[in-house]
Each structure stands twice: as structure tokens, then as C-alpha cells.
């Protein structure tokens, strides 16, 4: 299995621009999670999906953040407009039922 695949690995963008992060979960997994990791706040859960349906988006920091999962093999996290404080590593993870989640390699986002 190729594992959870995230793209891009690195993204540098200017403040105010739209950023789209992509994720392909492990085939057959029914849960998908988006996390953000910073030194100050650690690993924060932003949103998670079950069978492509968003279950809890209470961790999404602002309306500038949105996430979609149009099918079982693809999800996006969009930030529009981006701000310097959004700079972080964004992880996508997937799991089967209520087991532990497998993480992707992450996207390091820098907003200048």
C-alpha cells in the first residue's frame, strides 16, 4: 500500500493568496483527519470525515479554512485568503473504523 499521500510537500505563498492542500487516504479507510502542527500549539485536529461526510469541524480556526471530501479517495483543505499565522505543517491521516490513524508525510506551508 502506498500509504496516505499528500501534496504538495512544501508550499510557499504570499499573504492573501489561496492555498489548496490535497490528500489521498489509504484505500478502504473510512475515516480521514486533517491536523495542523506548530511548535506552539502542537498537533491540532482541524476536521475529520467518516465515509466522506464531515463529522466535526470545530477545530477549523476560521471561515478562511474549508475542507471537502468529494469521494473516498480524495480530500482537500483550502485556505482563502492565507495569512502568515497559517504557516505550519498540515497533516492528513486516515484510519479504518476506530483504529489508530496513519499519517501522510505532511505539507509544510509558509505564508510570507
Q: How many CB atoms lie within 10 A of CB 110?
A: 13
Q: How far apart are CB 39 and other proteins at their closest, in Å?
A: 10
Residue 85 · residue 110 · CB < 8 Å: no
Q: How far is the CB of 17 from other proteins (least distance, A)?
A: 25
The distance from CA 52 to its chain's CA centroid, rounded to whole angstroms, is 14
- Rounded to an integer, what distance in angstroms lies between the CA atom of residue 21 and that of residue 14? 15
Candidates 2, 28, 70, 100; binder of other proteins (CB under 8 A) is: 100
Taking the complex as a whole, the smallest distance from the CB of residue 5 to other proteins amounts, in Å, to 12
Of 15 and 43, nearer to other proteins (C-beta) is 43
Residues 77 and 46: their CA atoms lie apart, in Å, by: 10
Measuring CA to CA, which residue among 67, 90, 75, 69 is closest to residue 13? 90
98 binds other proteins (CB under 8 A): yes
Site for other proteins in 32-71 (CB under 8 A): 33, 35, 42-43, 45, 48, 50, 55-56
- Interaction of residue 28 with other proteins, rule CB under 8 A: no
Amino acid at each position: 500500500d502506498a500509504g496516505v499521500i499528500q501534496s504538495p510537500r512544501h508550499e510557499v505563498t504570499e499573504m492573501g493568496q489561496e492555498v489548496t492542500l490535497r490528500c489521498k487516504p489509504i484505500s478502504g479507510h473510512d475515516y480521514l483527519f486533517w491536523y495542523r502542527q506548530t511548535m506552539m500549539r502542537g498537533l491540532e485536529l482541524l476536521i475529520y470525515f467518516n465515509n466522506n461526510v464531515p463529522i466535526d469541524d470545530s477545530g477549523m480556526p476560521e471561515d478562511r479554512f474549508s475542507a471537502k471530501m468529494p469521494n473516498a479517495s480524495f480530500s482537500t483543505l483550502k485556505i482563502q485568503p492565507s495569512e502568515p499565522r497559517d504557516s505550519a505543517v498540515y497533516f492528513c491521516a486516515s484510519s479504518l473504523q476506530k483504529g489508530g490513524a496513519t499519517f501522510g508525510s505532511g505539507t509544510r506551508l509558509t505564508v510570507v
